[in-house]
C-alpha cells in the first residue's frame, strides 16, 4: 500500500493540506453556529414560530446555490471559498454582537441569518468540486474521505464546545467565535493554488443551462438527488427545530443538544474511512440505503427517550452518512467532466436546500401544535418511505450500475494508513 494513498500522507502534501486544515476550523465554527443561533433566538424570549422564521431566513439563500455552482466553475475555486468564508465571518460577528442585546428586532436577526446563508450557498457546491482540481483521480477517494473526516472532527469540536460556551457565557460568544473561525479559515485557504477555468461564456445563464443538461442526462444522479432531498427534509426538521426544542423542554438543555449534535460527526470519523476502503458490488443501492439510518435517533426522540440514548444512537447515522458522502462524491467526480462538476453538484444539492426554508417554516408551527416528538417521528417515517421508493425506482432503470464508472472506483488503492 503506497504512502501517497493514505489520508495522513495528504496532510504532508502542501498543495492540498491547507484545505483540510481549513475544513477542521470552518466546520468547528459551523457546529458552534447551530447551537448559538437556536439558543440566541430563544434567549431573547422568542418561541418556536420565531425560531423557525430565523432559521428559514438562514436557509432561504440556498435558492442561490445554483449561482454558487456557476461561480465555482467560472473562477478559481479556492478564491470562491475564500470569499464565502469572509462573508460568513462578517455575518456571524454581527450576529454575536446582536445576541448581546436584551431583545433584538426579529427582522435584524432574520437579515443577518440570511447573509450567513448566502455564504453557505456559495461555499457548498464549490468545496465538493475542489478535490478534482487538487488531486489525481486515484487519490480522490482519499481526499473525499479526508474532507469528510476533517469536517466531522470540526463539527464534533464545535458541537461540544458550543454547548459548554452557550451554557457558561451565552450564545453571543459562540456566534462571535463562529465568525472569527471563518476568518481564520479564509486566511488558510489563501495557501491553495487552483487552476483558472477555461474561458467561460459571457452569459452565466447559459453556463447554468449546460450544468443542468449534464445533470439531467444521468437518471441515476437526479433520482438519488430526489431521495436525498427527502432525507435532508427530515433531518432539517429534526436538527433545526424539533431537536433543540425537545432538549430545551426538560431533556438536558443546550449541553445535551451539543452532545447529541457531536455524536454524528464522532461516528463520521470512522464512517469516512470505511467509505474510502469499501467497494460494494452494488454501489448505488448501498449508497441509497445508508442515509436511511437517520431515522434511528429520530424514532428514539419520538418515543421520549433520554438524551443520552439519543446521543448514542446518533453515532450510527453519523458513520453511515459519512460513508455515503465518500461513495457519492467520488462517483460524481469519476463520471462528471471537471468543467461542469461544480454546476452538477449545485443541481444535486439545490432541491434539498430549496426545501429547507419551507421545512423550517412549517416545522415551527407544527412542533408548537403537536409537540416535537410527534413531528420527529413523522420525519423518520418520511426518510424510510423515500428510501424504499428510491430503491424500487433504481431497479426499474436499465443497467443502472453500468451507467456509472464503478469499476474505476474499485481499482483505487486503499486509503487507510
For residue 302, which of 365, 352, 251 has the smallest C-alpha distance?
251
Query: Dihedral through CA 112, CA 353, CA 86, CA 109, nearest 10?
Result: 10
- Could you give phi then psi for residue 280, rounded to 5 degrees? -65, 150
Residue pair 318/268 in contact by the 8 Å Cβ criterion: yes
Average pLDDT over residues 92-103: 91
Question: How far is residue 340's CA from residue 176's CA, in Å, rounded to a whole number?
Answer: 36
Which band of pLDDT confidence, cut at 50, 70 and 90, is reported for residue 400?
low
Residue pair 302/238 in contact by the 8 Å Cβ criterion: no
Question: How far is residue 271's CA from residue 291's CA, in Å, rounded to a whole number?
Answer: 12
Q: Percentage of residues in the chain with pLDDT exceeding 70?
A: 88
For residue 145, which of 245, 11, 26, 38 has the smallest C-alpha distance?
11
Angle at 259 (CA atoms; ends 256, 265), nearest 5 degrees: 155
Note the pLDDT of residue 87. Answer: 95
Question: How far is residue 336's CA from residue 339's CA, in Å, rounded to a whole number?
Answer: 8
Q: What is the pLDDT of residues 47-70, one digit of tens each?
A: 878 888 888 888 777 667 777 777
**How would you class 374 by CB atoms within 10 Å of its CB: exposed for 0-12, middle for 13-18, buried for 19 or more?**
middle
Note the pLDDT of residue 229. Answer: 87
Note the pLDDT of residue 202. Answer: 58
Q: Is the pLDDT of residue 371 over 80?
A: yes
Average per-residue pLDDT for the chain: 81
Report if pTM > 0.75: no
Average pLDDT over residues 106-116: 92
Residue pair 144/16 in contact by the 8 Å Cβ criterion: no
Average pLDDT over residues 326-349: 79
Residue pair 408/137 in contact by the 8 Å Cβ criterion: yes
Q: What is the pLDDT of residues 272-323, one digit of tens each?
A: 777 667 777 777 888 889 999 999 999 999 998 999 999 999 999 988 988 8
Place of cell 435558492: 63
Note the pLDDT of residue 295. Answer: 93
Amino acid at each position: 500500500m503506497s504512502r501517497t494513498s493514505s489520508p495522513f500522507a495528504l496532510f504532508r502534501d502542501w498543495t492540498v493540506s491547507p484545505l483540510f486544515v481549513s475544513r477542521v476550523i470552518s466546520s468547528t465554527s459551523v457546529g458552534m453556529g447551530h447551537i448559538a443561533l437556536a439558543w440566541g433566538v430563544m434567549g431573547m424570549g422568542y418561541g418556536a414560530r420565531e425560531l423557525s422564521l430565523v432559521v428559514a431566513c438562514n436557509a432561504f439563500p440556498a435558492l442561490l446555490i445554483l449561482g454558487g455552482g456557476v461561480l465555482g466553475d467560472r473562477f478559481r475555486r479556492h478564491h470562491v471559498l475564500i470569499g464565502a468564508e469572509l462573508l460568513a465571518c462578517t455575518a456571524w460577528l454581527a450576529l454575536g454582537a446582536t445576541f448581546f442585546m436584551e431583545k433584538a428586532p426579529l427582522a435584524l436577526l432574520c437579515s443577518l441569518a440570511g447573509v450567513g446563508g448566502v455564504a453557505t450557498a456559495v461555499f457548498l457546491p464549490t468545496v465538493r468540486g475542489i478535490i478534482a482540481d487538487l488531486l489525481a483521480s486515484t487519490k480522490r477517494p482519499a481526499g473525499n474521505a479526508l474532507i469528510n473526516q476533517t469536517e466531522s472532527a470540526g463539527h464534533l469540536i464545535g458541537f461540544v464546545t458550543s454547548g459548554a460556551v452557550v451554557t457558561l457565557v451565552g450564545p453571543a460568544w459562540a456566534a462571535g467565535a463562529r465568525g472569527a473561525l471563518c476568518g481564520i479559515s479564509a486566511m488558510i485557504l489563501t495557501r491553495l493554488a487552483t487552476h483558472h477555468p477555461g474561458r467561460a461564456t459571457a452569459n452565466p445563464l447559459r453556463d447554468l443551462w449546460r450544468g443542468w443538461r449534464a445533470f439531467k442526462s444521468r437518471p441515476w444522479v437526479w433520482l438519488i438527488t430526489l431521495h436525498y432531498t427527502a432525507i435532508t427534509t427530515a433531518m432539517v426538521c429534526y436538527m433545526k427545530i424539533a431537536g433543540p426544542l425537545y432538549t430545551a423542554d426538560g431533556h438536558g438543555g443546550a449541553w445535551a443538544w451539543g452532545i447529541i449534535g457531536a455524536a454524528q460527526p464522532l461516528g463520521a470519523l470512522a464512517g469516512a474511512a470505511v467509505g474510502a476502503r469499501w467497494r460494494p458490488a452494488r454501489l448505488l443501492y448501498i449508497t441509497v440505503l445508508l442515509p436511511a439510518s437517520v431515522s434511528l435517533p429520530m424514532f428514539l426522540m419520538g418515543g421520549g427517550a433520554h438524551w443520552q440514548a439519543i446521543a448514542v444512537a446518533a453515532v450510527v447515522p453519523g458513520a453511515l452518512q459519512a460513508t455515503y458522502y465518500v461513495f457519492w462524491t467520488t462517483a460524481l467526480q469519476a463520471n462528471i467532466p471537471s468543467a461542469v462538476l461544480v454546476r452538477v453538484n449545485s443541481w444535486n444539492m439545490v432541491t434539498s436546500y430549496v426545501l429547507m426554508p419551507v421545512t423550517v417554516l412549517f416545522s415551527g408551527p407544527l412542533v408548537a401544535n403537536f409537540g416535537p416528538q410527534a413531528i420527529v417521528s413523522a420525519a423518520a417515517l418520511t426518510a424510510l418511505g423515500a428510501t424504499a421508493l428510491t430503491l424500487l425506482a433504481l431497479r426499474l432503470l436499465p443497467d443502472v450500475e453500468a451507467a456509472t464508472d464503478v469499476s474505476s472506483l474499485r481499482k483505487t488503492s486503499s486509503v487507510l494508513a
